[in-house]
A and B are shown apart, each in its own frame.
Chain A
């Protein structure tokens, strides 16, 4: 990898890193855990950097797939603390989060009560901004299965949130 390619790789990692952190923060018990997983994602990405796709959209998906895999594995083992994320852990814990209202709470509660296979799809699409096809890729599902699960999840949410028109 030459200097230009290395600089391009850095830019790609930087472009997706905040969204990766957001994705991780929403899926682990504490911001410290999210910081560690972001560090592991970046370490893994650099170790495999030669296989990073050239297309920016594919680069983003490539990084999210790494993070998603680490997240899956992370749930099966104790997390290792990384020195490289010491400061990020501390900053994350002291950075405020914006408040939200009662109605938002109710909808979120309905999302979080969905069956796991529906919940993650809804989160990926509505919280992280992925298309259903991209969400399917991250969850290692075929697209048609993801579409039917997503439709079922929406129907279920609409039923629970009876005040939502449409």
Chain B
């Protein structure tokens, strides 16, 4: 190294020594900035939430996934609408739809996938969301994440319980497909939720 390079590197303005405490405070700034950058919790509660359940690596396929008709192409004529009351007292309006999906290591013929989507949509059309036991569905989920971490985002009670209901619906769809010898990997359940009221 040219001696000038070394002198220049050594000449850097000294900065506070990197300590465990400083590292912790920087991490807190990152976490707080993440929280502040999100819509505030009230807006979040009233906003339409959309999620879907599918196998890891699944790609949505077919007309429902093409998105040509709008942001939520499945939402316009979703087969299932209903509401639940969560443990906080919120009423959550839920809308469910079905997406045909393709899992890389479990290929399904287009015709089979179309049959699976049709069966799943009919199952949703016949389902009454209010008949789902929210507490029992919630008990089947891993504990709610209450703090943001590297592994997972924190969830409100309403979002968590709505997700539990979505998982219950997915299990019902899978059972229906199994009963008809159709592949469960060919579909996933989409859900839009909007929660209002409650104590949270």
Chain A contact residues, CB within 8 Å of chain B: 3, 6-7, 10-11, 13-14, 17-18, 21-22, 25-26, 31, 35, 38-39, 42-43, 45-47, 49, 84-85, 87-88, 91-92, 95-100, 103-104, 107-108, 110-111, 122-123, 126-127, 154, 157-158, 161, 164-166
Contact = CB atoms under 8 A, between A and B. Distances in A.
**By CB atoms of chain A within 10 A, which of B7, B19, B23, B150 has the most?**
B7
Most buried by A among B7, B10, B25, B29: B29
A21 B25 CA distance: 12
A111 to B, nearest CB: 6
A102 B7 CA distance: 12
Interface in B23-55: 23, 25-34, 36-38
B34 A46 contact: yes
Contacts of A6: 153
B interface, over-half SS: helix
Contact of A107 (B8, B15, B25, B29): B8
Closest 5 CB pairs of A and B: A46-B37, A42-B33, A95-B16, A126-B8, A107-B11
Contacts of B7: 103, 107, 161, 164
Given A7-B150, A127-B13, A91 B21 contact: yes
Contacts of A96: 16-17
A166 B30 contact: no
Which among B19, B23, B32, B38 has the highest number of chain A CB atoms within 10 Å? Answer: B32
Contacts, number: 128
Given A42-B34, A91-B25, A164-B7, 14 more contacts: A3-B151, A10-B150, A17-B30, A26-B12, A31-B16, A46-B37, A88-B29, A95-B16, A96-B17, A100-B10, A123-B12, A126-B5, A126-B8, A127-B11
A165 B152 CA distance: 55
Contacts of B139: none
Contacts of A122: 8
Interface of B: 2-5, 7-19, 21-23, 25-34, 36-38, 150-153
B170 to A, nearest CB: 17
A67 B140 CA distance: 45
B3 A84 contact: no
A93 to B, nearest CB: 9
Highest count of chain B CB atoms <10 Å: which of A10, A35, A110? A10
B37 A39 contact: no
Nearest to A122: B8
A118 B4 CA distance: 16
Nearest to B27: A14
A10 to B, nearest CB: 6
Contacts of A45: 33
B92 to A, nearest CB: 21
A164 B4 contact: yes
A47 B38 CA distance: 8
B8 A25 contact: no
A126 B34 contact: no
Contacts of A157: 4, 8
Contacts of A100: 10, 14
B12 A42 contact: no
